[in-house]
Amino acid sequence: MDFITFQSSLKDSQPPKDCTPVVQALWYDAKGNWEKAHDIAQSREGTRDYDRLHAYLHRKEGDQWNAGYWYRRARAEMPAYALEKEWEELVKGWL
């Protein structure tokens, strides 16, 4: 699946089944279901991609302290650019 196809799937009622859970979490996030995305992030804490997802979600939530914690756990820096760009980079990186 490519990014354009993934974006098109946002009109559907369910995430694409052929995507990994972290990509599905970003689908739920884009659809406004932060809680479902967060549940996925919490499901495998300690796994780098899930911790990175967790960091993004807390940054989006506005909890900078908690986001910073998760960025450090994921060994990543908190981006200084827009959340939309971070979302797109994560999707493209995990597809």
Is 6 inside a domain boundary? Answer: no
Asked if the structure places residue 12 within a domain, the reply is: no
Number of structural domains found in the chain? 1
pLDDT in tens, 30-79: 999 999 999 999 999 999 999 999 999 999 999 999 999 999 999 999 99
Long-range (24+ apart) CB contacts under 8 A made by 70-79 are 73/46, 74/48, 74/49, 75/48, 76/52
Q: Is residue 79 part of a domain?
A: yes
Burial class (CB within 10 angstroms; exposed 0-12, middle 13-18, buried 19+) of 80: exposed
Which structural domain range is residue 37 located in? 18-94
Within 9-95, where are the H helices? 21-30, 34-43, 48-61, 64-73, 83-94
- Within a domain: residue 29? yes
Is residue 58 domain-resident? Answer: yes
Terminal alpha carbon distance of the chain? 7
Instruction: Decide: pTM greater than 0.85.
Output: yes
pLDDT of residue 57: 98
- Residue 28 included in any domain: yes
